[in-house]
Amino acid sequence: MTENHPATRELFINGDAACAEGAISAGCRFFAGYPITPATEIAERMSLRMPQVGGIFIQMEDEIASMNAVLGASWAGVKAMTATSGPGFSLMMENLGLGVMLETPCVLVDIQRAGPSTGLPTMVAQQDMMQARWGSHGDYEIIALSPSSPQEIFDLAITAFNLSEQYRIPVLIMSDEVVGHMSEKVVMPYIAPESLYPRRLPRVAPDKYRPYQPDDDLVPSMAIAGQGYHFHTTGLTHDEMGYPVSTAEAQDRLVGRLINKIRHNRRHIIQYRETQIADADIIVCAYGITSRIARFAVTMARQEGIRAGLLQLITIWPFAEDHIRELSLKAKSFIVPEINRGQIVLEVERCAGGKAETIPVNHLGGGVLSAETILKAIRKAK
């Protein structure tokens, strides 16, 4: 850091505000959204901060329009984000699929609350995890990250924007009401613009540009609207020029690439954090706020002489299936606590493939799981 760079800031703020600040640090300069508990504080923060950094804040008429506006802003060359919860997340799913098909970099934040429908608007849940993967129709891959603290949501907001630009895809931040509303110290270092992943601009003249011609990593370059490049873009199955092609061969070629650009790069995308895993017989696999509570349960189990460890999933999608398969060869049991009726536990069970027992610990929302509840499951697995 040079004397001309802004100093690192340390603020005592909640997770929603930290998410907004992380997005700004990542270069986000457009936010479109609609108020909804418990994500409204992100929009409120962005409404104040966007004018201060030369960005644009728009409150749209609903969540459908919000997601559409974000896609349009991204094509105009601006890093863009929206935030929502529960019913709003459902409304955004159609245009999330459009963003996948158009290969539009952007970030969608879901501060999860208990459902279905209106549910418990002000209370925590982790009930949208499978919707994050399969919420829009058709075959596709997605990237979804899960923070466990205000600091992590700040850091992962930056990661989300970098991944969205690198792979030309909408990236989800799957947070929850507790992380969104808890206040802690958040360290916000200066992020140099040159350290962020840049927009992958065309390296050819406008008359040579093919908007969906992939590079070696299966990701195409992306022209910015209004800078002399002519292109056609559509949610229909299309060729490398962006024009509709209604054949099975075109569908296989395009959708196969959309899937493989994520699958083939999984090892570069997936993040997780391990605590006392090396000798663990019992592995607690958790994410979001539940992983913080699970860490206490693992500590208490170790004090009782139980060889327990914690696998915190930071990247939820694509799923860390290779690593869980590897761990299943030495662990006796996986315990998967979630604030839902059982979602990610199904993925753990699939990957363990019967080599290790998979034990769900579920709570339907409205509050967090206690460390004692998770500890009881660890004892039982012993």
What own/partner pairs with CB < 8 Å and gap ≥ 24 does 295-301 have?
Answer: 296/371, 297/371, 297/372, 297/374, 297/375, 297/378, 298/378, 300/371, 300/375, 301/375, 301/378, 301/379
Name which residue leads in pLDDT, 362 or 5: 362
Reported as a single tens digit per residue, the pLDDT across 87-119 is: 999 999 999 999 999 999 999 999 999 999 999
Q: How many CB atoms lie within 10 A of CB 368?
A: 22
Contacts of 39 (CB under 8 A, 6+ apart): 16, 33, 83, 84, 85, 88, 109, 110, 111, 180
Reported as a single tens digit per residue, the pLDDT across 200-216 is: 999 999 999 999 999 99
Contact (Cβ atoms closer than 8 angstroms) between residue 285 and residue 335: yes
Distance CA 85, CA 110 (A): 5
pLDDT score at 13: 98
Three-class SS state of 272: strand
Structure tokens of 103?
A: 């290969």
Structure tokens of 106?
A: 């952007």
pLDDT score at 339: 98
Nearest alpha carbon to residue 126 among 288, 18, 312, 347? 288
State which amino acid sits at residue 76.
A
pLDDT score at 2: 44
Give yes or no for residue 3 having a pLDDT over 70. no
Three-class SS state of 18: helix
pLDDT score at 231: 81
Q: Outline where DSSP puts E strands in 72-198.
A: 80-84, 106-114, 120-124, 143-145, 170-176, 183-188
Name which residue leads in pLDDT, 382 or 21: 21
State which amino acid sits at residue 244.
P
Averaged pLDDT for residues 319-340: 97
pLDDT score at 56: 98
Give yes or no for residue 199 having a pLDDT over 80. yes
pLDDT score at 4: 57
pLDDT score at 6: 74
Structure tokens of 63?
A: 């969540």
Q: How many helices (H) and strands (E) does the chain have?
A: 13, 15
State which amino acid sits at residue 43.
A
State which amino acid sits at residue 220.
P
Reported as a single tens digit per residue, the pLDDT across 150-191 is: 999 999 999 999 999 999 999 999 999 999 999 999 999 999
Reported as a single tens digit per residue, the pLDDT across 233-267 is: 899 999 999 999 999 999 999 999 999 999 999 99
Ordered by where they begin, the domains of the chain are: 9-195 (3.40.50.970), 274-381 (3.40.50.920)
- Residue ranges of alpha helices (H) inside the chain are 15-25, 40-52, 63-75, 86-102, 129-134, 150-167, 177-181, 248-263, 266-269, 288-303, 321-328, 344-352, 371-381
Distance CA 226, CA 197 (A): 22
Averaged pLDDT for residues 298-315: 98
pLDDT score at 5: 61
User: Would the pTM of this model clear 0.85, i.e. be above it?
Assistant: yes
Averaged pLDDT for residues 222-242: 92
Nearest alpha carbon to residue 111 among 10, 12, 14, 11? 14
